[in-house]
Amino acid sequence: MIKKLLIPNRGEIAVRIIRACAELGITSVVTYTDVDRHALHVKKADEAYNVGADPLAGYLNARRIVALARATGCDAIHPGYGFLSENPHLAERCEQYGIRFVGPPAQVIHRLGDKIEARHTMEAAGIPIVPGSHTSLGGVDEALSLAEQIGYPVMLKATAGGGGRGIRRCNSPLELSRNYERVVSEAQKAFGSTKVFLEKCVVNPRHIEVQVLADHQGHAIHLFERDCSIQRRHQKLIEIGPSPQLSEKQRATIGKLAVKACRAVGYRNAGTVEFLLDAQGNFYFMEMNTRLQVEHPVTEAITGVDIVQEQLLIAAGESLSYRQEDIQHRGYAMELRINAEDPKNDFLPSFGRITRYYAPGGPGVRTDGAIYTGYDLPPYFDSLCVKLTVWAMSWEKLLNRAHQALHDIGIYGVKTTIPYYRKILASPEFRRGEFDTSFVDNHLELLNYSADTREPELAAVVAAAIAAHMGA
């Protein structure tokens, strides 16, 4: 078993991994930069080490991270998500120095990180892919020629892309010509590669992804699907499991496709196979994420499987704790990403001090976060404050419970997406389970909501309680 784990990450995912380590009796070690010296993951871990003044550099230096793991006696590294989680060089260095990497082998990350190669692999395995490039594009003229063949609209994508970056929809030759250099530039800045490719745009699809687990002994299973169609600019906002839009036949089909994809690349550890579902009911492979997903609590809620603990056990060489027939889904779960953003102002980030934070509670309500009252939310990272995950036995009960949880949670000092999510949950189409990736853009009226005025009331209640206590 792993004895000591380095977590070169921060925020809620570092706290989540620390919790899994504590339950398994593993010593947890984290890194932090100066701006994170008061962060919750630093307070929660068994050991914490400062890796510099630069807010980002310390989390992105694979050589230094592996050196720290060796110096502190760690026998494994869990990268979480973001930062170096899908960087094959970190996995390679771990392999070089005999440190267990909690994720797939470096060659698998290489193979799936290149979207062109991933498309080739899946097509060879008999998994349907969206029509498009078979190689990276040589220039805008080649892109225009291919787009003419497959038909507009098309998606121009970075081959090393991820996280919704390096992607542009092009509805005409003019838009493709204008966007080509932009995507190349975005790809270079975000991923260090100028390679791009082209795909036919599946118009208004549903975005369905499947959680998979695979061990070193060749076993692979799926943990059912999540519906990630509620998104903005390819960034997910709300995730649901299982999808209220799939039939049981479709659910079985996509699960089998995900396991097939897993086996096709010799996958190990936790991963997510992402698909697009068109209006005719056809599934198309989109990509495979070689890491733990932000939305993994949704799957944990409906299956009862602790995915992070399974990751650690797999990395230690143990067989999967479950067979496919052991995995059942029960009820529905939803994760709402509570971001420090102002939806009314084009989702502009709203960083600053959290003046008050009240977590919701009750049956089926879970929060994963790293904020607290008085915490300064730094502007150097993403704007995620808390992941609110709600579970209930039926879709209708889930909606009602999620609405109440959004009423109970309180985050003050920064603007958040909470009031916007309340409007989404009240939308008749959403409540009917009828939505696709165009939902946010097609329902701009949901941005017309009143400002949250509960803080003065809560502050008055707290002040009265303090005064009463002091008087007693």
Any idea what the CATH number is for the domain that residue 332 is in?
3.30.470.20
pLDDT at position 452, please?
A: 65
Find all residues with CB under 8 Å of 136, minimum gap 6, and list them. 116, 159, 195, 196, 197
pLDDT at position 463, please?
A: 46
Residue 140 inside a domain? The answer is yes
Which CATH number goes with the domain that contains 60? Answer: 3.40.50.20
Residues in the chain: 472
Residue 117 inside a domain? The answer is no
How many Å from the N-terminal Cα to the C-terminal Cα in the chain? 53
ω into residue 242 within 30 of 0, thus cis? yes
- Sequence letter at residue 109: I
111 by DSSP, 3-state: which? helix
pLDDT at position 320, please?
A: 97
pLDDT at position 52, please?
A: 96
Continuous H helices in 114-220: 115-124, 140-150, 173-191
19 lies in the same domain as 94:
yes
244 lies in the same domain as 392:
yes
94 lies in the same domain as 159:
no
Residue 467 inside a domain? The answer is no
**pLDDT by 10-residue block (mean), the chain, 472 residues:** 97 98 98 98 98 96 98 98 95 98 97 92 95 93 96 94 82 96 90 92 96 97 98 95 97 98 97 96 95 98 98 98 97 98 96 97 97 97 97 98 98 98 98 97 94 56 51 52
Residue 139 inside a domain? The answer is yes
Backbone angles phi, psi at 65, to 5 degrees: -65, -45
318 lies in the same domain as 235:
yes
320 lies in the same domain as 423:
yes
CA 327 to centroid of chain Cα atoms: 22
247 lies in the same domain as 388:
yes
Q: What is the domain count for the chain?
A: 3
Count of C-beta atoms within a 10 Å radius of residue 366: 19
210 lies in the same domain as 186:
no
171 lies in the same domain as 75:
no
273 lies in the same domain as 391:
yes
Which is nearest to 199 in space by CA: 259, 286, 273, 277? 286
Residue 110 inside a domain? The answer is no
Residue 319 inside a domain? The answer is yes
394 lies in the same domain as 267:
yes
394 lies in the same domain as 425:
yes
233 lies in the same domain as 185:
no
Find all residues with CB under 8 Å of 326, minimum gap 6, and list them. none
Which CATH number goes with the domain that contains 162? Answer: 3.30.1490.20
pLDDT at position 163, please?
A: 65
Name the residue range of residue 237's domain.
206-455
Cβ–Cβ under 8 Å, residues 237 and 337: yes
Cβ–Cβ under 8 Å, residues 231 and 175: no
Continuous H helices in 229-271: 248-264
pLDDT at position 165, please?
A: 79
Q: Which residues are catalytic?
A: 291
Residue 466 inside a domain? The answer is no
Residue 376 inside a domain? The answer is yes
